[in-house]
Amino acid sequence: MVMRKHQRYFPVVAAGSEDDDDGELIPHFITVANGPVNKDVVAAGNEAVLRARFEDAVFFYEADRRRGLQAMKPSLAGTLFQAELGSMLDKTQRVEALVEPLSSLMSGAAFSEALPAAKRAAGLAKADLASSVVMEMTALAGLMGRHYANLEGEEPAVAEAIFESVLPRNAFDRTAHTPAGIIVAVADRLDSLVGLMAAGCAPTANTDPYALRRTAYAMLQTLVSNGVGLNLGEAVKAAAALQPVESTQETLSSVLDFVERRLEQLLVDRGIPIEAVRAVLAERGSNPALAEVTASALSNEISKGEDSPLPAAMRSLSRPIRIIRGKEFDLSAVVQPELFESDDEKRLWDAYCAAAEHKSEQMAVGEFLETVSALSNPVDAFFDKVFVMAEDEAVRTNRLTMLRKVAELQNGIVDLSHLPGF
26-63, pLDDT tens digit by residue? 888 888 888 788 888 888 888 888 888 888 889 989 99
Mean pLDDT over residues 106-120, rounded?
Answer: 96
Query: What is the identity of the amino acid at 53?
Result: R
Whether the CB-CB separation of 278 and 294 falls below 8 Å is answered with no
DSSP conformation letters of 325-370? TT----TT----GGG--SHHHHHHHHHHHHHHHH--TT--HHHHHH
Maximum C-alpha span of the chain: 102
For residues 208 and 415, give the distance between their C-alpha atoms in angstroms, rounded to a whole number: 32
Query: What band does 163 get if pLDDT is binned at 50, 70 and 90?
Result: very high
Q: Is 22 exposed, middle or buried (0-12, 13-18, 19+ CB in 10 A)?
A: exposed
Give me the domains of the chain, ranges plus CATH numbers.
1-67 (no CATH), 73-270 (no CATH), 305-418 (1.10.730)
Query: What is the identity of the amino acid at 373?
Result: S
Q: What is the pLDDT of residue 225?
A: 96
> Which residue blocks in 270-337 are alpha helix, DSSP H?
274-284, 288-304, 310-324
For residues 189 and 219, give the distance between their C-alpha atoms in angstroms, rounded to a whole number: 6
Per cent of the chain over pLDDT 90 is 80
Query: What is the identity of the amino acid at 182?
Result: I
Give the helix/strand (H/E) hosting 249. helix 249-269
Whether the CB-CB separation of 272 and 291 falls below 8 Å is answered with no
What dihedral do alpha carbons 155, 157, 162, 163 form, nearest 10°? 120
For residues 314 and 33, give the distance between their C-alpha atoms in angstroms, rounded to a whole number: 67
pTM passes above 0.75:
yes
The residues facing 25 across adjacent strands are: 13
312-369, pLDDT tens digit by residue? 999 999 999 999 988 888 878 899 999 999 999 999 999 999 999 999 988 999 999 9
Whether the CB-CB separation of 359 and 411 falls below 8 Å is answered with no
Q: What share of the chain is helix, strand, coil (3-state, %, to 5)?
A: 65, 5, 30
Q: Give the Cβ contact number of residue 32 at 10 Å.
A: 7
